[in-house]
């Protein structure tokens, strides 16, 4: 059996009110519970204290008339919809009143002279609308519950992803490494790592999976788990301990190439060798990092390279540069260059180079946050469209 | 979303029909061209004159089209703006795609090949 719907009947004439109540009970005594109000003000109070969902009100009443009552009900925040039926004279006779009532928020009208079938038809309509409203409410509740659960899962995934990343600030073998990691949604398709390979070499990599969001993050996290320091040492260092980062990239390319989907990733990986005072690197479609020497001269490292997982027969090259004691290596994912301002103009390389020149003397731990800040200022209110990673490596200790 | 026309030689000219080929529309872009390939077409020119920006998903879709055509046909791209060209360079796409300044040059090259 369905729950009873409470109906308020607002009517100052006692006889009329009793008559209306009887009519409603005749329509369906089981469906409705009738609450009586002798004027508009009483009806308004009753609405606040009851669970009434239908209001049948006379137009002419002392204190609040039917239209004023309607307006007052619509300004209340009851958390449920009140279906309002106004009793007036005929449509033609009370045209002005009906127009005012519609404006105030009335749903339906009943002629004073109507027979009981008119009332029954209107109550049926009201119940149909109320049922529909409840169905929507239930659907909304179910969707919200599902949405909350997804968001909780995502937050947990984001937390797990962050735990894979190195500390934001860390010293390895006399080099200072600082980073910033800003996902465009909760989880990110970016990934990076940095670790000592032995007592004189530091391995590092940055990865940017195509696309962004959950799908990209699945692959980025898989890569994060795969590239352990042991994996890095085994695939990068040759028999003489000389770093060959292209070997690692080739290995990843063989592993991730498939015709099943179009996912791929760009990558920059390298080894900072503190004895040879060099950085050995391999670039695989990742934006060329900046190298700033002790005098502040800025160069871009690498001329390009195939992304990983796109073409099975792609080959990769090793590169090498010397690094000054105070030199800084700076990797930014393409999300940095592509960040657009309100007018749709990307931040671009010239602006990035200008900032790099301004901040290269700062300690490494200040560099990523300053770049993030400059990009935030540039974007204004525009949200980040792609994941953003900035990693600064500075050799500033002997 | 794409606009495609066919020349008398049977070469399909595709204009992506969007200014930005990104994660939002790259799947539709690829699916529509793949449908043309599955319908038996094998020679394509994709004209990016009106497309000024490609993100990583857009590039992935384009590479997917190239792999789909494979050795059975030919794909040329043209009208690459400076930003798209730079992305092609950094990803070495200039070594896997045949790139021409405009449609006329691309069509000429494809016609001479066949």
Q: Do B63 and A304 touch (CB under 8 A)?
A: no
How many domains in chain B?
1
Give per-residue pLDDT as tens, A203-249: 999 999 998 888 899 999 999 999 999 999 999 999 999 999 999 99
- The neighbouring-strand residues paired with A179 are A391
Name the residue facing A259 among B55, B67, B92 (closest C-beta).
B67
Q: Do A211 and B89 touch (CB under 8 A)?
A: no
Average pLDDT, chain B: 93
Residue A8 pLDDT: 95
Residue B69 resides in a domain? yes
Size of the A and B interface in Cβ pairs below 8 Å: 54
Give per-residue pLDDT as tens, A106-158: 999 998 777 778 888 899 999 999 999 889 999 999 999 999 999 999 999 88
| Of A266 and A80, more confident | A266
CA distance A126 to A108: 9
Residue of B nearest to A304 (CA): B90
Give per-residue pLDDT as tens, A296-309: 899 999 999 999 99
Residue A129 pLDDT: 92
Residues of chain A found within 8 Å of residue B96, distances taken between Cβ atoms:
311
**Do β-strands A108-111 and A278-284 pair in parallel, antiparallel, or remain unpaired?**
unpaired
Residue of A nearest to B95 (CA): A306
Quote the CATH superfamily of domain A5-138. Response regulator (3.40.50.2300)
Query: Cβ(A329)–Cβ(A279) under 8 Å?
Result: yes
CB contact set of A59 (below 8 Å; sequence gap of 6+): A65, A66, A67, A86, A87, A88, A94, A97, A101
- Distances B10 to A166, B45, B73, B100, B111 between C-alpha atoms, Å: 55, 11, 12, 19, 10
Quote the CATH superfamily of domain A166-395. PPM-type phosphatase domain (3.60.40.10)
Residues of chain A found within 8 Å of residue B67, distances taken between Cβ atoms:
259, 311
Q: Do B92 and A305 touch (CB under 8 A)?
A: yes
- The neighbouring-strand residues paired with A171 are A176
Name the residue facing A210 among B56, B67, B83 (closest C-beta).
B56
Which H or E run includes B33? helix B26-38
- In chain A, what percentage of residues exceed pLDDT 90? 62
Residue A91 pLDDT: 67
CA distance A263 to B67: 13
Residue B41 resides in a domain? yes
CA distance B85 to B54: 10
Residue B93 resides in a domain? yes
CATH of the domain at B49: 3.30.750.24
Domain boundaries, chain A: 5-138, 166-395
Query: Cβ(A122)–Cβ(A54) under 8 Å?
Result: no
**pLDDT exceeds cutoff 90 at A395:** no
Q: Do B63 and A310 touch (CB under 8 A)?
A: yes
Confidence of residue A29 (pLDDT cuts 50, 70, 90): low
**Domain, as residue range, for B42:** 3-98
């Amino acid at each position: 059996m369905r729950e009873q719907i409470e109906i308020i009947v607002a009517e100052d004439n006692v006889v009329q009110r009793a008559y209306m109540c009887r009519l409603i009970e005749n329509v369906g005594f089981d469906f409705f519970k009738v609450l009586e109000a002798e004027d508009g003000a009483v009806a308004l109070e009753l609405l606040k204290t009851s669970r009434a969902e239908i209001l049948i009100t006379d137009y002419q009443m002392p204190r609040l008339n039917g239209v004023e009552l309607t307006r007052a009900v619509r300004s209340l925040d009851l958390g449920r919809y009140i279906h309002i039926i106004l009793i007036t004279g005929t449509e033609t006779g009370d045209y002005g009143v009906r127009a005012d009532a519609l404006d105030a928020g009335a749903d339906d009208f009943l002629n004073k002279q109507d027979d009981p079938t008119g009332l029954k038809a209107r109550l049926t309509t009201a119940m149909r609308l109320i049922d529909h409203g409840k169905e929507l409410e239930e659907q909304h509740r179910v969707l919200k519950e599902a949405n909350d659960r997804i968001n909780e899962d995502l937050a947990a995934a984001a937390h797990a992803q962050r735990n894979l990343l190195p500390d934001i600030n860390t010293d390895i073998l006399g080099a200072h490494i600082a980073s910033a990691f800003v996902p465009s949604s909760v989880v990110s398709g970016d990934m990076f790592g940095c670790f000592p390979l032995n007592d004189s070499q530091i391995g590092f990599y940055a990865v940017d999976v195509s696309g962004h969001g959950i799908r990209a993050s699945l692959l980025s996290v898989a890569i994060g788990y795969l590239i352990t320091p042991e994996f890095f040492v085994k695939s990068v260092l040759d028999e003489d301990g000389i770093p060959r980062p292209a070997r690692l990239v080739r290995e990843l390319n063989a592993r991730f190439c498939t015709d099943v989907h179009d996912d791929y990733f760009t990558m920059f990986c390298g080894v900072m060798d503190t004895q040879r005072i060099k950085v050995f690197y391999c670039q695989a479609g990742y934006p060329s990092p900046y190298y700033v020497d002790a005098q502040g001269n800025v160069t871009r490292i690498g001329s390009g390279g195939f992304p990983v997982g796109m073409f099975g027969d792609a080959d990769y090259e090793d590169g090498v540069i010397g690094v000054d004691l105070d030199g800084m290596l700076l990797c930014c994912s393409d999300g940095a260059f592509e960040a657009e301002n309100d007018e749709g103009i990307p931040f671009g390389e010239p602006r990035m180079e200008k900032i790099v020149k301004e901040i290269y003397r700062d300690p490494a731990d200040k560099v990523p946050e300053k770049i993030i800040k400059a990009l935030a200022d540039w974007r204004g209110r525009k949200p980040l469209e792609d994941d953003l990673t900035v990693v600064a490596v500075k050799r500033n200790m002997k | 979303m794409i606009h495609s026309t066919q020349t008398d030689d049977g070469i399909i000219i595709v204009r992506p029909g969007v200014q930005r080929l990104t994660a939002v529309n790259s799947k539709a872009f690829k699916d529509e061209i793949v449908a043309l390939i599955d319908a038996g077409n094998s020679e394509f020119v994709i004209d990016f004159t009106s497309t000024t920006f490609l993100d990583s998903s857009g590039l992935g879709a384009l590479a997917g089209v190239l792999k789909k055509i494979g050795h059975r046909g030919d794909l040329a791209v043209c009208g690459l703006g400076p930003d798209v060209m730079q992305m092609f360079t950094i990803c070495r796409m200039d070594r896997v795609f045949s790139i021409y300044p405009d449609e006329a040059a691309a069509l000429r090259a494809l016609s001479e090949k066949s």
